[in-house]
Amino acid sequence: MFTGIVEAVGKINAINLNAAGARVVVDSSTLDMSDVNLGDSIATNGICLTVVAFDCNSYSADVSNETLTRTGFANYKPGQMVNLEKAMLPTTRFGGHMVSGHVDAIGKIEAIKHNGNSIDYWLELPEQIKQYVAEKGSITIDGVSLTVNSVENNRFRLTIVPHTTEQTIISSYKVGQLVNLEVDLIARYIERLLFCKQQDQAPAAGVTEELLLKSGYIK
């Protein structure tokens, strides 16, 4: 579990493809690795990866074919800058929102406009996540916890303050760039809960004895 508060910006040193997917090596020299152990999770551009090898300057993680095809890793190359966050601790200050590190969709930046000392980013809203994105709700972009400030049909707006721009890879974003999107975890589970409840309460198909009893036609 993560908070979406980026701790450092790293760089992909290598992506070595194999039959199972790939092994990625990430330069983490700006991230405190003193408390990292094998098997720990590090969100890499919002993707939860498990550390399989590390030193004080880098870590390696295996990336499945599923992750390669459903996240930005499909387009990543050595030299790609990435946002980094270690898994949260019970004592961590909860500055963002609950982030699982499981990417729901890929979005595209449609427009970038200056707004005072901040910058507005308009992103397309993929069909499969439209119901989860709400004005003033939370969304994760490449591992960064952000607030949705406006939703218009098939797009939404983020307003990024200077500190966030300086501490993440957002400063490098350009129109047309693809980014990892993770919707609010609570919204996703609420939808599933309501769906299952509706399924349980759905009437049986056709006319049954139970239906006739309930309707008062037989006693």
pTM of this prediction?
A: 0.86
Average model confidence (pLDDT) across the chain:
91
Domain residue spans in the chain? Answer: 8-86, 105-188, 189-219
Distance CA 57, CA 206 (A): 66
Same fold, 8-86 and 105-188: yes
Confidence label for 96 from pLDDT (cuts 50, 70 and 90): confident
Q: Which residue has the tokens 């551009």?
A: 45
Pairwise CA distance, residues 119 & 112, whole Å: 7
Query: How far apart (Å, rounded) are the C-alpha atoms in residues 19 and 13?
Result: 20
Whether residue 65 is predicted with pLDDT greater than 80 in this model: the reply is: yes
- Alpha-carbon distance of 110 to 65, in angstroms, equals 28
CATH topology of domain 8-86: Elongation Factor Tu (Ef-tu); domain 3 (2.40.30)
Q: How far apart are CA 134 and CA 147, in angstroms?
A: 9
Buried/exposed 146-180: b ≥16 CB within 10 Å, e otherwise: bebeebeeebbbbbbeeebbebbbbeebeeebbbb
User: d(Cα 165, Cα 177) in Å, to the nearest integer?
Assistant: 16
The CATH T-level fold of domain 105-188 is Elongation Factor Tu (Ef-tu); domain 3 (2.40.30)
Q: In which band, very low, low, confident or very high, does the pLDDT at 26 lie, cut at 50, 70 and 90?
A: very high
Residue pLDDT, tens place only, 161-208: 999 999 999 999 999 999 999 999 888 888 878 778 777 765 555 556
The answer, yes or no, to whether residue 219 has pLDDT greater than 70, is: no
**215 has a pLDDT exceeding 80:** no
